[in-house]
Amino acid sequence: MDPVRIAAVGVGRWANVLADAYTPSPDVQLVTCYNRSPEKGQAFAQKYGCEYSDSLEALLQRDDIEGVIVTVPNDHHASVIEQVARAGKHVYVEKPIAVDLQEALLIERVVNETGITFMCGHSARRLGGLRKMKEMKNSGALGQVSTVEAVFSNERGLELKPGDWRGNPEKSPGGPLTQLGVHQIDNMQYLMGPVKQVFTMGKPMYTKVSNSTVLQTLVEFEDGTMGYLGTNWACPGSFTFNMYGTTANLFYELDFGWWSNSDVTDEHSSLLKVEFEHLSDDPDNRTLAKGPVQFSRTNHLRDEIEEFAQAIRGEAVVEVGARAAVLNVAVVLAGVRSNQENRPVEIQEILEG
Amino acid sequence: MDPVRIAAVGVGRWANVLADAYTPSPDVQLVTCYNRSPEKGQAFAQKYGCEYSDSLEALLQRDDIEGVIVTVPNDHHASVIEQVARAGKHVYVEKPIAVDLQEALLIERVVNETGITFMCGHSARRLGGLRKMKEMKNSGALGQVSTVEAVFSNERGLELKPGDWRGNPEKSPGGPLTQLGVHQIDNMQYLMGPVKQVFTMGKPMYTKVSNSTVLQTLVEFEDGTMGYLGTNWACPGSFTFNMYGTTANLFYELDFGWWSNSDVTDEHSSLLKVEFEHLSDDPDNRTLAKGPVQFSRTNHLRDEIEEFAQAIRGEAVVEVGARAAVLNVAVVLAGVRSNQENRPVEIQEILEG
């Protein structure tokens, strides 16, 4: 495949992590970049051996750029993506697609109107362990699944200072529910299908900011199964995903400290299966066996950028497009509204405005 | 200490498990027993080398009986306990104290009026790992705790037949929330203090009965901390308790298959601590360490019966009396009402009727 010629727009920390993952790929060629602060943009260009464009307009006028990797601040996603898409370039955007439903829906509309290839970077579902869970659920290896439990937590809320954008409920609704939880919300909808209803309890705890930093959420999926999501910004890191079925349970754990090193993320994860070792009519005479499940290693960040490139060439279909990304944000916003109003909130209510 | 002379009333499976635990203790002497079915009662008497009383009245008229171990069906707890207490005998009752708030409050009133020593068998908090968690939380070893997550699940709902009392919402409100969850609710209130508010999502799943068999619950404690409780009757067994603090997290796990063998229950449990191994101003440059926490072994069932005996002698104070047991049931009933009405329910609302 002829490499897809791409540009990076926004060159903060995450742009570097992504470039580390995709620049070794034969499917893409990083041609140029743009950043509001030219110094940082030029440093990025030097680091990755690409050009630097003086303006987004100049970058978008180039005929040789096919796709754009958008990693500008979340609240600028919509305006930048609209500009890029109207210029006929394909778009990859980091998660979340937006933190405001109207902006998320605007992006979806622009994507549909322009017909560009669009991907939102919900890469967690590409982890080897998550892929294996999906395969096992679909094959019936767990019997019938009833519930899941996901946790994604870390200590970031303890260090937030007044004025930090993550401490601002407008820029980061629900704090860790947006920043961390949306990863697990995508995993939940990937594994269990669409969420129907959400109930969230949350508040600021042990922090200097007014935004909620500790939240617990229950979800009911459209198929009637249920889930729990823990998002806590006031504790050492934790990333787990449990699934309970009638014949077996699965327990996935990831040391998220290795998230950015996508070539070895899977090496720092484990998947355990618990099932009956000995079944008997007497419930007191049953024993359980617990053992590791092997799974194929992936490179969650490189894999998704390669899929993006292949989709541009018509050789793949994007797995997480605008609709899936909008629905992930809708679950976050349902949780935020639920927490504000102390009542369960349906996703449909959020989508209707 | 002169052994306390006790009688067993109700000799089902759990009476046997308890007798296995307490008969070797020097603190108690099992003198007699009574059961509605005389055959089972006489078999129990023979098995444990005690007398058999032909009626509860005859048993209660004996001056040499000091305390009674009540393990009759849950919906008979109140009537039996009232009779025993009015006869001036001390009472130990298996959990839950009752499945109906009025009956639980009746028991509390009778206990207060008669002044008997009363204990409800919430023994899970006596497990070595739970004791250690309490000690570590209180000593500040976790920093400031924000959330807990408890799971107690097993496969019993898959086998329930129409007519089984566990499948009856009157006799087992919330199914596993009453039968399994009340253990973890006691652990939660033991570790975190009183629950203020509850939200539960639940339903019958993969079962032939109409009672809910899969439920997920969020709780807010009076001190503002929060918790999750998973109770699922449609999966292989799971018993876990996680606690998240600002400097460390704890993960407790128990193979509940060993619950009834209270001399070795702790041997089938583990407690892990996760904390920072390396701290840095750069969040990307922090690493976590995970390691086992040692704790003293207990015998959760024998220990509580010995405490009951010592309390009768004035040498101990009962840890889980009527009020604590009533509050555990109130949390269950708040969850059931929340699930029925799809709204959060305060414990105060339940206690007010």
A256 and A285, same domain (yes or no): yes
- Pairing of the two strands A67-70 and A90-94: parallel
A59 and A173, same domain (yes or no): no
B207 and B290, same domain (yes or no): yes
Chain A from 12 to 41: CB within 8 A of any B CB = 13
Cβ atoms within 10 Å, residue B120: 31
Cβ–Cβ gap B146/A238 under 8 Å:
no
B290 and B167, same domain (yes or no): yes
Nearest to A146 among B197, B232, B255 (CB): B232
Predicted confidence (pLDDT) at residue A1 exceeds the cutoff of 90: no
Range of the domain at A26: 4-123+302-321
Alpha helix segments (H runs only) across B91-228: 101-114, 128-139, 176, 182-192
Please check whether residue B70 lies inside any domain of the structure.
yes
Query: What are the structure tokens assigned to B199, written together?
Result: 């939200």
A341 and A276, same domain (yes or no): yes
Instruction: Return the closest-CA partner of residue A186 out of A333, A351, A328.
Output: A328
pLDDT tens digits along A69-111: 999 999 999 999 999 999 999 999 999 999 999 999 999 999 9
B154 neighbourhood in chain A, CB within 8 Å: 283
Q: Give the amino acid at B171.
A: K
B100 and B142, same domain (yes or no): no
pLDDT tens digits along B152-171: 999 999 999 999 999 999 99
A293/chain B closest Cα distance in angstroms: 17
Residues of chain A above pLDDT 90, percent: 96
B216 neighbourhood in chain A, CB within 8 Å: 147, 218, 226-228
Please check whether residue A193 lies inside any domain of the structure.
yes
Chain B from 274 to 303: CB within 8 A of any A CB = 274-276, 283-284, 286-288
Distance CA A49, CA A47 (A): 6
What value does the mean pLDDT take over residues B74-98? 97
Predicted confidence (pLDDT) at residue B281 exceeds the cutoff of 90: no
Please report the pLDDT score of residue A18 as a whole number. Answer: 98
B239 and B310, same domain (yes or no): no
Do you know the residue count of chain A? 353
Please report the pLDDT score of residue B284 as a whole number. Answer: 77
B290 and B146, same domain (yes or no): yes
A161/chain B closest Cα distance in angstroms: 14
CA angle at A187 for the pair A183 and A189, rounded to the nearest 5°: 115
Distance CA A72, CA A76 (A): 6
Please report the pLDDT score of residue A17 as a whole number. Answer: 97
Please check whether residue B324 lies inside any domain of the structure.
no
A26 burial via Cβ count (<10 Å: 0-12, 13-18, 19+): exposed
Buried b or exposed e, range A178-196, using 16+ CB within 10 angstroms: bbbbbbbbbbbbbbbeebb
Tokens 């929330």 -> residue: B177
Please report the pLDDT score of residue B73 as a whole number. Answer: 94
Size of interface A-B (CB pairs under 8 A): 149
Please check whether residue B352 lies inside any domain of the structure.
no
Predicted confidence (pLDDT) at residue B15 exceeds the cutoff of 80: yes
B337 and B188, same domain (yes or no): yes
Please check whether residue B149 lies inside any domain of the structure.
yes
B241 and B229, same domain (yes or no): yes
Q: Does B147 touch chain A (CB under 8 A)?
A: yes
Q: Does A201 touch chain B (CB under 8 A)?
A: yes
Predicted confidence (pLDDT) at residue A280 exceeds the cutoff of 90: no
Q: What CATH number is attached to the domain comprising A278?
A: 3.30.360.10
Averaged pLDDT of chain B: 97
Q: For the residues of A14-45, what is the DSSP string, one character each? A: HHHHHHHHHTT-TTEEEEEEE-SSHHHHHHHH
Please report the pLDDT score of residue A2 as a whole number. Answer: 96
Provide the angle, in degrees to the nearest 10, between the axes of the packed helices A77-86 and A101-114: 10
Please report the pLDDT score of residue A353 as a whole number. Answer: 81
A274 and A308, same domain (yes or no): no
Please report the pLDDT score of residue A341 as a whole number. Answer: 98
B55 and B179, same domain (yes or no): no
B193: helix, strand or coil: coil
Q: For the residues of A147-215, what is the DSSP string, one character each? A: EEEEEEE-SGGGT--TT-GGG-TTTSTTTHIIIIIHHHHHHHHHHH--EEEEEEEEE--SSSSSS--EE
Please check whether residue B353 lies inside any domain of the structure.
no
- Can you tell me the ipTM of this complex? 0.96
Distance CA B116, CA B95 (A): 18
Distance CA B192, CA A233 (A): 19
Chain B from 32 to 91: CB within 8 A of any A CB = none
pTM: 0.97
**Residue to test with chain A: of B16, B180, B246, B256, most A Cβ within 10 A:** B246
- When divided into structural domains, chain B yields a total of 2
